């Protein structure tokens, strides 16, 4: 019975995923969200606080549909509601609403072009090995139980009084949950504590410690050169993530050593934004703004 269940369970999961994907593609996502994103990117990408009535007039949708779509976009951190209207966060802003408001306040309402968090632990070898080892231990335990190696299946059946494979699967699930809890704890401890913000006029602002408030400043006229570095380990980790990570290195004029921002999201785009600020050329962002906004909102499939 257990063997048959183990055979059909993966097929059931695959079928559910395929039917879900087909249904999602047939519905075409949320058309109103797509229209709002198209309108905001094309007309108000760098503007602050567009009124609701202006958005309703700019898209072919009812006021009720627009209000629902705006609420969804705000919940996903794609749009921000201010005192006088709504603003489309730059697609490369990955800050929470609280941190975005903080960044706006500390940069004196500058146009935030990039915002994210450094996650140094994600490429820590000990962290990666600990996460992998939990899964490997669970799989080994399952295999040993299946073949009754060292009379393990017999022992489990005598102790728990149920099918030994069910016990082994339960232990595997527990180990996966432990790994997920550990990962979420690290995210809670480090996320939103090592911020980096790039403003059009204010330059680069960043946190220097866990309890910092963007006290690190590098004004745009003080930036000498910028470079990115993606190690093999970072490329490996990025292959399993929806958002690529890498190191951003920025040299201050007159300094020999760069300021290094570890494991930030979309390092190449951050590099081009800084270069765009230096050269006064930022229109290129509109080229990728829609696709990134679609991906962040989940309103439309994005294939790259």
pLDDT in tens, 120-132: 888 888 888 998 9
Burial class (CB in 10 A: 0-12, 13-18, 19+), 258: middle
CB contact at 8 A, 166 and 2? yes
Residue 140 has pLDDT above 90, yes or no: yes
Place of tokens 């527990």: 174
pLDDT in tens, 44-61: 877 778 999 999 999 988
Q: Is the dihedral of CA 184, 185, 187, 192 positive or negative?
A: positive
pLDDT in tens, 67-100: 999 999 988 888 888 888 898 887 788 888 888 8
The pTM assigned to this predicted structure is 0.72
**Whole-Å CA distances, 139 to 116, 133, 167, 169, 224:** 35, 10, 12, 9, 51
CB contact at 8 A, 127 and 121? yes
Q: At 218, phi and psi to the nearest 5?
A: -140, 95
Q: How many CB atoms lie within 10 A of CB 189?
A: 11
pLDDT at residue 34, rounded to an integer = 87
Structural domains present in the chain: 24-88 (1.10.10.10), 123-188 (no CATH)
pLDDT at residue 273, rounded to an integer = 92
């Amino acid at each position: 019975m257990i063997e048959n269940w183990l055979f059909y369970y993966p097929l059931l999961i695959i079928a559910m995923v395929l039917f879900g994907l087909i249904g999602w593609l047939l519905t075409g996502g949320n058309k109103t969200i797509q229209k709002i994103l198209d309108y905001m990117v094309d007309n108000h990408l760098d503007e602050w606080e567009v009124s609701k009535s202006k958005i309703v007039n700019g898209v072919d949708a009812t006021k009720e549909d627009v209000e629902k779509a705006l609420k969804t976009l705000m919940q996903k951190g794609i749009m921000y509601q201010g005192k006088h209207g709504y603003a489309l966060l730059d697609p490369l802003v990955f800050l929470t609403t609280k941190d975005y408001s903080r960044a706006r306040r500390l940069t004196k309402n500058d146009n935030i072009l990039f915002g994210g968090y450094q996650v140094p632990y994600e490429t820590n070898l000990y962290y990666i090995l600990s996460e992998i080892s939990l899964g490997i231990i669970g799989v080994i335990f399952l295999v040993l139980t299946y073949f009754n190696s060292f009379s393990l299946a017999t022992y489990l059946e005598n102790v728990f009084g149920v099918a030994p494979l069910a016990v082994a699967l339960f232990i595997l699930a527990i180990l996966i949950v432990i790994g997920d809890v550990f990962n979420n704890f690290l995210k809670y401890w480090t996320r939103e504590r090592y911020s980096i913000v790039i403003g059009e006029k204010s330059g680069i602002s960043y946190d220097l410690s866990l309890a910092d408030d963007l006290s690190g400043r590098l004004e745009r006229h003080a930036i000498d050169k910028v470079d990115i570095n993606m190690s093999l380990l970072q490329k490996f980790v990025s292959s399993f993530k929806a958002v690529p990570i890498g190191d951003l290195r920025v040299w201050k004029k007159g300094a020999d050593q760069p300021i290094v921002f570890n494991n930030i999201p979309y390092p190449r785009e951050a590099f081009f934004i800084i270069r765009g600020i230096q050269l006064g050329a930022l229109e290129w962002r509109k080229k990728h703004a829609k696709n990134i906004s679609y991906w962040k909102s989940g309103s439309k499939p994005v294939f790259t």
